[in-house]
Amino acid sequence: MLIHDLIGIGFGPSNLALAIALDELQQGGPPLETLFIERQRSFTWHRDMLLDGTHMQVSFLKDLATLRNPASRFTFINYLHEKQRLQDFINLKTFFPSRREFNDYFAWAAAQFEDRCAYGEEVIEVLPEQQGGKVTLLRVRSRDSAGAVRERLTRNLALGIGGTPSIPACFAPLRDDSRVFHSSGYLRGIAAHAQARHIAVLGAGQSAAEIFMDLHGRPHGPRVDLILRAQALKPSDDSPFVNEIFNPDFVDHVYGRTEDERDALLREFRHTNYACPDLDLIQRIFQVFYDQKINGAARHRLLRRHEVEDVRAGADGIELALRDLDTGHGYSERYDAVVLATGYARAQHRTMLAPLAPYLPGFAADRHYRLHSVPEFQPMIFLQGACETTHGLSDTLLSVTAVRTGEIGQVLAAACRQAQQPDLAERRALA
């Protein structure tokens, strides 16, 4: 069986940027045997949230390569050049392209790595391979869409698997009810209930706000309740001094702090990333509610300071038991569909790597995103997007992706060069 130098799990922007970084770092040297395994059948970036009118929340200069290597052929600017839209883009006078365009840019870059990506396979677990009392390799098990399980061996691993939907506990029993769906599956979910007339959207972040506006614009005119615990929709702070926390070199600052100091930083700047829609989007929503006052027809409601206490599914709808946190008043509302724009958890790597847990104390990562391991564990495992508590708020975003993958790539390329030297033939041995 072929032994890979690196298997990347997931082929979203993080591991795509890693493929690019490795490609550029290795130029001239012997090629690394690299493979990325992606559960989607083709590249798409948050497919079910590619809504009309949505745009990037970071500058296009925070693309897959620019901050690491502005001369890379994988920059957004080169993409525009190749698509013959560079001049037109300049005339848009924006740093924030549409999400559809950025998805197209990512897909354009991903297409250049087709030979290194196995699409349509979901990695289910990673197992240790022992030799002489040491773990020398990892066995990566994946399942394809037909249910067939494949196994591959690798010396190193890079996880870029994004987040998993955070579902409030009271909705867990309704996991199989298609009328309740998370924002990560919004377009599919709403297509299955295209005629839903009364819809609840839970959340106060960018996704909740975008979904509210999308539903508002739907021709059949559904009534929407936007339900949030907070008093108000609050905008993200992207003013320049605050934005410095998303600079790649701020990672050193965060990583160098004590745990308490890092927690304090995360708390202080949480509203740059969580539960904070763009100001212009908030203004558009406010306008919708203002216009309702003029028209005298209260189609939508902003249920602020509200909590969902219980959920019941019936043939005639989903009933939410709501509590007004200001008055203490409890009441029920029935909806045709409920959208949970309730964010993401980022602990999936612990489940996927559970068989390796005894070798990876606390799943803690070093400054270069490599999981610490016991001495008898040789493979390097890198985490992309799961190190927010140690590396800062930029970790789940595109802000540091280009630079982070350069850092990981350097470590990997150096280690693989060393391993390649003694005996190339040995690499094709193990079964």
Ligand X SMILES: Cc1cc2nc3c(=O)[nH]c(=O)nc-3n(C[C@H](O)[C@H](O)[C@H](O)COP(=O)(O)OP(=O)(O)OC[C@H]3O[C@@H](n4cnc5c(N)ncnc54)[C@H](O)[C@@H]3O)c2cc1C
User: Should residue 408 be labelled a site residue for ligand X when binding is judged by CB under 6 A?
Assistant: no
3-state SS string for the chain: CCEECEEEECCCHHHHHHHHHHHHHCCCCCCCCEEEEECCCCCCCCHHHCCCCCECCCCCCCCCCCCCCCCCCCCHHHHHHHCCCHHHHHHHCCCCCEHHHHHHHHHHHHHCCHHHEEECEEEEEEEEEEECCEEEEEEEEEEECCCCEEEEEECEEEECCCCEECCCHHHHHHCCCCCEEEHHHHHHHHHHCCCCCEEEEECCCHHHHHHHHHHHCCCCCCEEEEECCCCCCCCCCCCHHHHHHHCCCHHHHHHCCCHHHHHHHHHHHHHHCCCCCCHHHHHHHHHHHHHHHHHCCCCCEEECCEEEEEEEEECCEEEEEEEECCCCCEEEEEECEEEECCCEECCHHHHHCHHHHHHCHHHCECCCCEECCCCCECCEEEECCCCHHHHCHHHHCCCCHHHHHHHHHHHHHHHHHHHHCCCCHHHHCCC
Per-residue contact string for residues 6-25; x = within reach of ligand X by CB under 6 A: ---xxxxxxx----------
Residue from 18, 35, 37, 228 in contact with ligand X (CB under 6 A) = 37
User: Should residue 238 be labelled a site residue for ligand X when binding is judged by CB under 6 A?
Assistant: no
Question: 143 or 299: whose CB is closer to ligand X?
Answer: 143
| Residues in 88-127 that interact with ligand X by CB under 6 A | 122-123
Question: 124 or 232: whose CB is closer to ligand X?
Answer: 124
Residue from 377, 396, 404, 416 in contact with ligand X (CB under 6 A) = 396
**Per-residue tokens: 160:** 């870029």
Residue from 57, 75, 272, 405 in contact with ligand X (CB under 6 A) = 57
Q: Output the smallest distance, CB 400 to ligand X, in A.
A: 9
Residue from 38, 225, 278, 395 in contact with ligand X (CB under 6 A) = 38
Question: 273 or 378: whose CB is closer to ligand X?
Answer: 273
Residue from 202, 209, 371, 398 in contact with ligand X (CB under 6 A) = 398
Residue from 32, 135, 138, 161 in contact with ligand X (CB under 6 A) = 161
User: Should residue 159 be labelled a site residue for ligand X when binding is judged by CB under 6 A?
Assistant: no
Per-residue contact string for residues 376-395; x = within reach of ligand X by CB under 6 A: --------xx----------
User: Should residue 59 be labelled a site residue for ligand X when binding is judged by CB under 6 A?
Assistant: no
Residue from 4, 46, 179, 391 in contact with ligand X (CB under 6 A) = 46
Question: 46 or 306: whose CB is closer to ligand X?
Answer: 46
Q: Output the smallest distance, CB 210 to ligand X, in A.
A: 8
Q: Output the smallest distance, CB 96 to ligand X, in A.
A: 8
Q: Output the smallest distance, CB 289 to ligand X, in A.
A: 23
Binding part of the chain for ligand X, among 25-33, 41-49, 258-266, 358-366 by CB under 6 A, reads 41-49
**CA 396 to chain CA centroid, nearest Å:** 6
Q: Output the smallest distance, CB 91 to ligand X, in A.
A: 22
Positions that interact with ligand X (CB under 6 A): 9-15, 37-40, 45-46, 49, 56-58, 122-123, 160-162, 207, 384-385, 396-399
